[in-house]
Structure 1
Amino acid sequence: MKNILFKRHWKPKQVRPRSTNPKRYSSQTHSFSGSGVRVQQKKAENFFRKFGYNVYLSKQLPLNRNRPRHARFHIRCLQKAYPTQLPSLGVILIFVNEALSIIEWAITSIINHTPSQLLKEIILVDDFSSNSKCPKKIKVYNQRYPGLLKIIWHTNQKCLAQAHNTGRKVAIADVIVILDAHVEVNIDGVRLQEAEPILAWIQEDHTMIVSPVFDNIHFDTFQLEKYALAVDGFIWELWCCYDPLPKDWIDLHNVTAPVKSPSIMGILAANRIFLGVIGSLGGGMLVYGGKNVELSLRVWQHHKPYALDLSLALKHNALRVAEIWMDEYKYVVYVAWNIPLQVCHGIEQKQGRTKKEKVVVMNTGIDFGDISSRMALRKKLKCKTFDWYLKNVYPNLKPIHNIVGYGRMKNTLDENICLAQGLVSANTSIMYYCHEYSTQNVYYHLTREFYVGPLIEEADPDDHCLTDPGNGEKPTLKPCSKVAQNRLHIYWDFKLGRAVMNKATKRCLEMKKDTLGIYVPVLQTCTTQVWTIQYTV
């Protein structure tokens, strides 16, 4: 975890320099008292105007100051074990016109809280600072750690992304961490190193781009403010924002697991060679902003994501359980995982008396291994059926018998986009670029409802049924169990490659471009638009 000092524009009332003697500073008046008051106040204000943070206070605080243990720290972190042989680590610090006290904070915290056998180098890149005294002071500071610090001065300002690339080109460590200079490494009050998990993940998969969680250092008081754990996203202006944690991560119930994130905030760790292969940071970027989003999109769209793809293994395991234990209900597992299947319906006769429908799910090509020994074990133990299990052990698990179509649903006007739950509200329907997440799952039932979103297995759920509210042109997604009492319309006539028409209102689900030129789903008089669904049963 990192702490980041966020700078602010000069506001005189926010200057809050502190003295080690509390009698010489008044927090109410934001001013000094005692001898030398005007000189000290003026000096503090000048520092604030120049740097955007309270340099006067930073000079008084110890470089190895104590940091509070945040609630984010978890005992499971201490229980983690990492390989004894890990890649070497290099840290790149970028600065321009930064206060020396802040740079010293960063260097000291990195050295104090990184295992010495892993920390190979700290590279300082000065992007043409106007402060001529700073390089001389850094040279003196470098004498304390001979061979560890490398200092590079640009002869003209090349801006943030290119300064990062300068540092990467001279680095020799296996893994590099790219930081701004106004950071502190936070170890949550214990001797817990944060280098090991980052290096272990990258050692396991060299294409990982890892971005640590960071908190806020207040620019005026240098107190720490904990930020809630979130993933990094961005808005259409390509400014960063925080998005909620994904449900699949929450469902892991493992606070030490990495979180997939669509973007990063600019602080990252990566395999040095891999980062060079994929083009490093965009050298054509000016000043700052956008470089982190560009790198994120490049990594996601042209290389595999930083977290290992476990989908095939999970499907293997799920189908193995289904094939061994779930009898005629196993096809629901195939549908829930959006796996193509072939279902054969037949009549099974038992002892010449009882007849029941038999459902046979054909193998779809996913290898779930040899299950013969497990099937033999089940027979030997005389295990009960899965139907018994549903009725007696888990009645809340709702079997779904009547799905006739499922998967991604597309309009032939543009087959690159799919019907989906809204990004903000699950009660809205949108057209969005097709992906494999469950918000684009669509299930068409024999009873003519469309469920949109994850397949909900529990009894009496709030399924999201595609609904014609009867007025307006926007289709909605409403809980199926509630729409009848509200006199909304959820039954649709649909055949593959044909229109989707509401049975009651006779309006069709179609799509059109809005004022921004983006396709949106609409309800209107039927034209010639037709839809497809990915799989049929």
Structure 2
Amino acid sequence: MERTPSHLLKEIILVDDNSSNEELKEKLTEYVDKVNGQKPGFIKVVRHSKQEGLIRSRVSGWRAATAPVVALFDAHVEFNVGWAEPVLTRIKENRKRIISPSFDNIKYDNFEIEEYPLAAQGFDWELWCRYLNPPKAWWKLENSTAPIRSPALIGCFIVDRQYFQEIGLLDEGMEVYGGENVELGIRVWQCGGSVEVLPCSRIAHIERAHKPYTEDLTAHVRRNALRVAEVWMDEFKSHVYMAWNIPQEDSGIDIGDITARKALRKQLQCKTFRWYLVSVYPEMRMYSDIIAYGVLQNSLKTDLCLDQGPDTENVPIVYICHGMTPQNVYYTSSQQIHVGTLSPTVDDDDNRCLVDVNSRPRLIECSYAKAKRMKLHWQFSQGGPIQNRKSKRCLELQENSDSEFGFQLVLQKCSGQHWSITNVLRSLAS
């Protein structure tokens, strides 16, 4: 209210997603009545009778809006001076633009503002949103006020109200939180619109110490990510399943009915996800060479899995199987074994490959290992040994009373130990 010119701000809509916070009941009503006493109808409160989650709450706010442009924000943001004017200018020039402001951080313990560098907004293959370096074309302009072309959205955005409806709002088949911002960015680009971050429109966002809804949102984000993959990502949907380390057939995860979202894509005559990767998000790494993925288990002790070990070291270990990111293993058609997270973009650290270093198993950045012609190629077939192609040594388990679970990984003359990986996409013939 204080930092937006009054002639540009028609209304403020607050969505109460059936909160248990007493402050948002009578006290909020009193405050709204006081403001509306001076400016009738200026603040509207939408109250849900049951908790719907962030995604459907944003759509509720949009449905209550009457202004030609709608800004959908978290409640825990502060607006800087002049945030609105550049946004409205860009949307007036082209109503098919969805705009994100640039974000700064508010420290939750002392409310200090920490200025963030300018960034585009993207995502990794699990579809968690993330900041990106602005594209090279933006740097070449040598104009720090120029709009930054962005592959996706972090979450808060401004959009022409009618255009938002035309392209399908947010996916209300998603649950609670996570993935809706990535899906919107992908959909807008594939269906003829664009996404920008504006350096001259700044807001500050407080990172809360405790998340609403649930402390761990992973299950919701994973389910929502699979909806995005199935509707929008064509043959690249496999990357999302691989990143989450879940099977592509019979995953056991109910993603709900996606018929309407697929029909929307057809109706809008949207481009392919390959077009999106090539034209909009070329920084994203593609992994079409992965032929098997999951956890890697040895026949000698099947409750232990290959694990990347401590982040600060490059020594793989075996650990009780839990199937989370440190135990993600990817076997490629070029016979490399990647361990740990799938590196999302070319600007990130490279994937780490299993390498035979002086008869010891080590994890080395794949590009470095390849450049140095290290021993990074392994012959492996499901239920067979893992043998280094150059050294002919096998990756095996050896009993060791000093190790946490009684075994350590070694490279030695093959003794007949067998390994199995969870998901096989194509033949692993050596």
Q: Provide TM-score, normalisation by structure 2.
A: 0.49
TM-score w.r.t. the length of structure 1 is 0.39
